[in-house]
Amino acid sequence: MPRLTTRERRERYEREYSFQKRHGKPFFPNAVFHDTIVSLVVVALIMGMTILWHAQFGGVPGEGTAERIGGLLGPAYEAKADPGVLGYDPRPDWYFFFLFELLRIFKTPELLIVGSIIIPTIWMVLLIGWPFIDRNPDRRLSRRPIALALGVTVPIVLLALTFYGSKAPGAAGAVSNEPGAAAFAAGSCSTCHTLANAGTAGNVGPVLDQAMPDYARVLDLVTNGQGGMPAFKATYSEDEIKCLAGYVATWAGATGTTPGPNAASAKDVYPAACAKAGGLFAGTAASAAGP
């Protein structure tokens, strides 16, 4: 279609549209009838999901802060949030899965911002600005090859990202047997940090195998927090923190069973502190049966 001047475009549009309106039908009752049916179907669907969700609830848990389990559509509620809880694998609601998956694709620290900021920003700008980008005046799909291609690819990409995001494994992977590994993997550290020895792939905080902090630094960060890193002094005991710090200092940047470059900085406390802390901290992978 040839490019039109602004005035031609307006006149043409007005001619066509007033013609269609003149030969149209009144909004009420025709369109209103269809609208009502679809609205009723949608409300029935929502109600149906709610009833199915509710029908599969387990009993009300006796313990004050426990989860009430459900069926196909998930629990009524999970256990009450506890910032110090061991072993939670965070997952967003399904409509953020595509973002979750993007972050898994770009998970190295240098690339992280591509998935977290750059792609979503480009996407939002394209979304809002789309009417100014697509200047083709034709509305028939056969004459809009680029729009058609996008209209097919974008949903497929989004669906694929959502699908893989939904199947993304939890943060905890294969845990080594070193003291402290299980606590690191099962604890919230795994949510945010990648540490090969503990088999974790969190991508909120730095990749510890690359940061390779020494003992004093880990001790300080875990105790007091910094920036996006929470403080754990209220969550873990002193020995537990020493154990985690010793573990990270020793095994960050490790290759196989050869400890990392900062192992020496922790040799006075690690693994002794882990034995003192006991439980999951002293234990091996076998005792770390996180979710």
Q: State the residues that interact with ligand HEC by CB under 6 A.
A: 187-189, 191-193, 204-206, 208, 211, 213, 217-218, 221-222, 226-230, 232, 244, 248
CB of 86 to other proteins, least distance (A): 11
DSSP 196-254: GGGTEE--SS--HHHH---HHHHHHHHHH-BTTBPP-TTTS-HHHHHHHHHHHHHHTT-
- Cα distances (Å, whole numbers) of residue 5 to 11, 15, 19, 136: 10, 15, 21, 13
Contact positions with other proteins (CB under 8 A) in 253-282 = none
- Cα distances (Å, whole numbers) of residue 239 to 76, 166, 180, 198: 37, 37, 11, 19
Contact positions with other proteins (CB under 8 A) in 191-220 = 191-192, 204-205
CA distance 173 to 86: 15
CB of 104 to other proteins, least distance (A): 12
Pick one of ligand HEC, other proteins, none as the site partner of residue 146 (Cβ within 5 to 8 A by kind).
none
Pick one of other proteins, ligand HEC, none as the site partner of residue 90 (Cβ within 5 to 8 A by kind).
other proteins
Pick one of ligand HEC, other proteins, none as the site partner of residue 244 (Cβ within 5 to 8 A by kind).
ligand HEC
Residue 11 belongs to what H/E stretch? Answer: helix 6-22
Residue 30 belongs to what H/E stretch? Answer: none
Would you count residue 149 as binding other proteins (CB under 8 A)? no
Pick one of other proteins, ligand HEC, none as the site partner of residue 44 (Cβ within 5 to 8 A by kind).
none
Cis peptide before 29 (omega within 30 of 0): yes
Residue type, 241: I
Contacts of 217 (CB under 8 A, 6+ apart): 249
CB of 165 to ligand HEC, least distance (A): 19
Q: Are strands 200-201 and 194-195 parallel, antiparallel or unpaired?
A: antiparallel
> DSSP assignment, residue 115?
I
Pick one of ligand HEC, other proteins, none as the site partner of residue 38 (Cβ within 5 to 8 A by kind).
other proteins
Pick one of other proteins, ligand HEC, none as the site partner of residue 216 (Cβ within 5 to 8 A by kind).
none
**Number of residues in contact with other proteins under rule CB under 8 A:** 95
Would you count residue 50 as binding other proteins (CB under 8 A)? yes
Pick one of ligand HEC, other proteins, none as the site partner of residue 5 (Cβ within 5 to 8 A by kind).
none
Contact positions with other proteins (CB under 8 A) in 237-256 = none
Of 57 and 164, nearer to other proteins (C-beta) is: 57
CB of 119 to other proteins, least distance (A): 12
Of 120 and 230, nearer to ligand HEC (C-beta) is: 230
Of 80 and 264, nearer to other proteins (C-beta) is: 80
Q: And the tokens for 149?
A: 């291609």
Binding mask 3-32 for other proteins (x = CB under 8 A): -x---xxx-xx-xxx-xxxxxxxxxx-xxx
Nearest C-alpha neighbor of 272 from the set 239, 248, 233: 239
